[in-house]
Amino acid sequence: MWFSFLRPRDRFSLVELRHLTDQLRKIQIVNDTNKDFVVEALRSIAEILTYGDQHDPSFFEFFMEKQVMAEFVRILRVSKTVTVSVQLLQTMSIMIQNLKSEQAIYYLFSNEYVNYLITYTFDFQHEELLSYYISFLRAVSGKLNQHTISLLLKTENDVVVSFPLYVEGIKFAFHEENMIRTAVRSLTLNVYHVGDESVNDYVVSPPHTEYFSKLVSFFQKQCIDLSAMVLNTLESPSPDSGGKLFSAVDGIEDTLYYFSDVISAGIPDIGRLVTDHILQNLTLPLLLPSLCSETVNVQPITFSS
């Protein structure tokens, strides 16, 4: 009897999931004393649910019954610790990426919990936190289809009036970190490939159309910077000049591939927007000045992260 009582809990068991959930509920505020436990509990819950998704559906049934997602949100509210925010975002990303059950994904996307996390005011001065936030957004976008996307929208009279995943994501479209820009581009393509007409109308309506004009302006700046870099290298070559040039060319190539992917996404209005902006803001002013009615002075454009 005593041996049974002292025997450690199975790490991947419903008993352990219940224990972790009960302990989280007891926490009224996250501080330096308990933050390590909270981080470990959030990490373990993700692992247990991933295991349960493959072996025992009762694990996620417990997760739903006890409204553990609500506990995640509450923990975020009572925590001012960056490490807890990072772990919560990582936990959500792991769950969304690894859970195969459609019921599980539908539940996670329901009840506005995911939208709450997307729009939560995180302190993005911490680079690690921003990285995990963008990974979380990308993970969510990877599960979008005709059914799940509707769970993340707010509509009025069948018209989309709010889509936080897309709006918050493109805020970082021109971030200085290439990995963040790449993740945001992947997110947008995942949205476009769903093929939801109401969402398509939303992304091509003001003010969201500014994204495409800024994208062309960003590409314009890449070209101008490369030109200046080449001239500078010819005048004052340095040992790292070649590496910088190759990096700049790679960046331009990536943007061109993204243009191609966007235009090929099957949304005519987006294709027209992109091609029109390329023609008006890039091709005519830079490549065909003789066809312009007046001289166009191209000014460098500064992007905020």
Q: What is the pTM of this model?
A: 0.88
Question: Cα(49)–Cα(198) distance, rounded to whole angstroms?
Answer: 33
Look at residue 130 and tell me whether its pLDDT is greater than 80: yes
**Beta bridge partners of residue 79, listed in sequence order:** 30
Tokens of 58: 């009762």
Question: Cα(203)–Cα(185) distance, rounded to whole angstroms?
Answer: 14
What is the CB neighbour count within 10 angstroms for residue 273?
21
Tokens of 214: 């800024």
Which pLDDT tens digit goes with each residue over 148-173?
999 999 999 999 999 999 999 999 99
* Average pLDDT for 70-86: 95
What is the CB neighbour count within 10 angstroms for residue 279?
13
Look at residue 254 and tell me whether its pLDDT is greater than 60: yes
| Domain ranges within the chain, ordered by starting residue | 1-111, 123-203, 212-305
User: Which residue in this structure is represented by tokens 């066809």?
Assistant: 291
Q: Decide if 64 contacts 114 (C-beta within 8 A).
A: no
Question: Cα(178)–Cα(251) distance, rounded to whole angstroms?
Answer: 8
The residue type of 92 is: M
The confidence score (pLDDT) of residue 1 equals: 36
Which pLDDT tens digit goes with each residue over 208-242?
999 999 999 999 999 889 989 998 888 888 888 88
